[in-house]
């Protein structure tokens, strides 16, 4: 009589489990890479800044969007930008302790000489405003919907005086129009800040509106003369 081979796996037999999916980088992956490759290069400059303190020339207010990298698009290094990031690069017209504390510190303590508000294309906060997220959930709302209410002035402005690109017809894209107009509105909100108003009246500080178009990696600056955003062109050096 022939016995049927057992199909059970012996406890000592090797286990053939399906391959594990590739592990995604953890929160420290980039930090480890920084410590290995970049920290040795930056250490002397950071040590100097640690001894002497920071003295940035510019306050840079931009969106929290992960695609926006202020130090990359401004070619700046440690100690050069005092940066504020929030949903929609908003400067609330009503008192907001977080944003206005940063503005006050930058202007009155650090004595920055310029403030830049930088918006960008495809901004999710502006898309949410267009979809009425700021009107949801009644009076209380969520932290996000309450924050978005600070963008209502931009919604009002875009209906009456939308910002545009210089040399182009007004955009037919509602989101692009709002993203552009929001930058101009936040500059006006900044001018209402007491510390900023004093310094601008004295000619001691410059306000700049910047817009970054993600699809082309092109920056545009707000021109008060032409009342439009003009492209920032590379500086071409002359031959010696």
* Secondary structure element (H or E) that encloses residue 165, with its range: none
Catalytic-residue membership of 85: no
> If DSSP codes are grouped into helix, strand and coil, which group holds residue 137?
coil
* Calpha distance 214→233 (Å, rounded): 16
Catalytic: which of 48, 108, 120, 191?
120
Within 13 Å and on the Cβ side, how many CA atoms surround 53? 3
Let me know how long the chain is.
240
* Calpha distance 102→96 (Å, rounded): 10
Catalytic-residue membership of 153: no
* Number of C-beta neighbours around residue 122 at 10 A: 14
Q: How far is CA 45 from the centre of its chain?
A: 25
Catalytic: which of 65, 153, 177, 179?
65
Catalytic-residue membership of 120: yes
Instruction: For residue 1, list its beta bridge partners.
Output: none
Catalytic: which of 63, 118, 153, 179?
63
* Calpha distance 219→188 (Å, rounded): 20
Catalytic-residue membership of 118: no
Give the gyration radius of the chain's Cα atoms: 25
What is residue 133's DSSP assignment?
A: G
Catalytic: which of 118, 123, 153, 177?
123
Instruction: For residue 212, list its beta bridge partners.
Output: 120, 219
Cβ-contact 58, 114 below 8 angstroms: yes
Catalytic-residue membership of 123: yes
Catalytic: which of 32, 43, 48, 67?
67
Active site residues: 63, 65, 67, 120, 123
């Amino acid at each position: 009589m022939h016995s049927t081979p057992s199909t059970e796996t012996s406890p000592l037999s090797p286990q053939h489990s399906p391959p594990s999916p590739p592990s995604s980088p953890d929160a420290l992956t980039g930090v480890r890479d920084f410590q290995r490759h970049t920290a040795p290069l930056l250490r002397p400059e950071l040590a100097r800044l640690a001894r002497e303190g920071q003295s940035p020339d510019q306050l840079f207010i931009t969106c929290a969007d992960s695609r926006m990298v202020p130090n990359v698009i401004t070619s700046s290094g440690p100690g050069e930008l005092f940066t504020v990031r929030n949903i929609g690069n908003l400067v609330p017209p009503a008192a907001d302790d977080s944003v206005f504390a940063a503005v006050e510190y930058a202007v009155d303590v650090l004595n920055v000489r310029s403030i830049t508000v930088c918006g960008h294309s495809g901004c999710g906060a502006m898309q949410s405003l267009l979809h009425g997220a700021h009107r949801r959930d009644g009076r209380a709302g969520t932290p996000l919907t309450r924050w978005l209410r600070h963008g209502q002035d931009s919604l009002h402005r875009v209906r009456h005086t939308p910002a545009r690109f210089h040399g182009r017809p007004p955009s037919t894209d509602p989101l692009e129009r709002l993203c552009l107009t929001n930058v101009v509105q936040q500059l006006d909100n900044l001018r209402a800040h007491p510390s900023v108003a004093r310094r601008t009246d004295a000619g001691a500080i410059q306000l700049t509106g910047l817009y970054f178009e993600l699809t082309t990696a092109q920056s545009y600056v707000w021109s008060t003369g032409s009342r439009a955003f003009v492209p920032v062109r590379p500086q071409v050096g002359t031959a010696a």
